[in-house]
């Protein structure tokens, strides 16, 4: 991906859910970076949790030596959500071999604070209600997934939430495939790269027009 895309590829850390907004802010402010200009960010699956909280991300660059990083877009590929109430797609694909719901449930059991369930805001942003309205500060978003992902119903609702909050969101839903299919099928990986490349070039063009 780093070879084929006009982008700096940065690995996003996966971590346990933080208990409060203040903890998230403290974590972000503890990590500094010099300015990188207008930058789109990509998050795949679990890294979505970092991307979805992106309204707070610019704070981590407030003390940068040069210009602070300006996030102009987010790319969320097969974003990973959960919830107590099973969706139709989760029930239909409950025991799929690529990503069974038992694996999803285990991941959330390990990630969430002790005593929390899968309706915790870190897992199910649709349950955040009024406290999630800051998500409207996000830049343009690309959300990609496919019909064989058991999480597609949650991903679809997430896109609707973004749209309802005034976020400029582009959804690319492929009827074929499964969770993280591009890791196993080169043709799907290439198709994904084309979508991401087009999105990045659109962001760069818009950024130049606004500068």
Catalytic residues: 45, 149, 179
C-alpha 67/C-alpha 79 separation (Å) is: 30
């Amino acid at each position: 991906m780093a070879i084929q895309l006009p982008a700096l590829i940065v690995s996003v850390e996966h971590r346990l859910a933080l208990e409060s907004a203040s903890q998230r802010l403290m974590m972000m402010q503890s990590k500094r970076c010099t300015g990188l200009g207008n930058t789109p960010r990509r998050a795949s699956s679990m890294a979505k949790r970092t991307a979805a909280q992106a309204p707070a991300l610019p704070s981590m660059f407030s003390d940068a030596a040069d210009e602070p990083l300006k996030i102009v877009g987010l790319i969320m590929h097969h974003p990973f959500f959960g919830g107590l109430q099973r969706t139709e797609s989760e029930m239909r694909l409950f025991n799929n071999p690529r990503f069974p719901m038992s694996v999803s449930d285990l991941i959330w059991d390990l990630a969430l604070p002790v005593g929390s369930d899968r309706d915790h805001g870190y897992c199910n942003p649709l349950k955040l209600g009024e406290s999630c309205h800051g998500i409207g500060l996000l830049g343009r978003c690309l959300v990609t997934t496919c019909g064989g992902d058991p999480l597609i119903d949650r991903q679809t609702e997430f896109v609707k939430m973004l749209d309802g909050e005034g976020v400029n969101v582009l959804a690319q839903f492929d009827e074929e495939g499964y969770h993280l299919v591009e890791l196993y099928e080169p043709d799907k990986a290439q198709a994904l790269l084309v979508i991401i490349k087009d999105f990045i070039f659109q962001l760069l063009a818009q950024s130049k027009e606004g500068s």
